Amino acid sequence: MKHYKKNIKLRRKYSHKKSLLSNLSCQLIQYKLIKTTLIKAKILKKFLEPILTKSKIYSLNNIRYLLKILKNKEIIKILFNEIINKIKNRKGGYLRIIKIGRRYGDNAKLAIITFVDR
């Protein structure tokens, strides 16, 4: 029996989607708060929370893993110096999505995604 699978699609190719999520992750780590569409925020939360859980342990393998995904050494320094110290005691749920209405031009649902312990 074929059941419903909740996969949110962005209608992009795999490489474009991968770079979009990497760039959104870097922006969120750098600015601690970004405004984007609701669908992108949901996908970013699903993408970034396992990465944050894995990066709570400071090791060479985790640094290489983060470099492969985020591709920016300064962002990884910010992640380990600022963010991991704040979320170290949490077991999950590091990100919060706040719905803020709709965009004027195309009526897309907008959201703010931020860290819970900012």
Give Cα 46 to chain centroid, integer Å.
7
Q: 53 vs 2, 50, 72, 95, CA distance in Å?
A: 32, 5, 19, 12
| Domain 14-115: assigned CATH number | 3.90.1030.10
Tens-digit pLDDT profile for residues 50-95:
999 999 999 999 999 999 999 999 999 999 999 999 999 999 999 9
Domain extent listing, the chain: 14-115
For 5-22, how does the pLDDT look when each residue is reduced to its tens digit (9 = 90+)?
777 788 889 999 999 999
Residue 10: which residues within 8 A CB-CB, separation 6 or more? 17, 20, 39, 40, 43
pTM: 0.91
Are 72 and 26 in contact, with CB atoms under 8 Å apart? Answer: yes
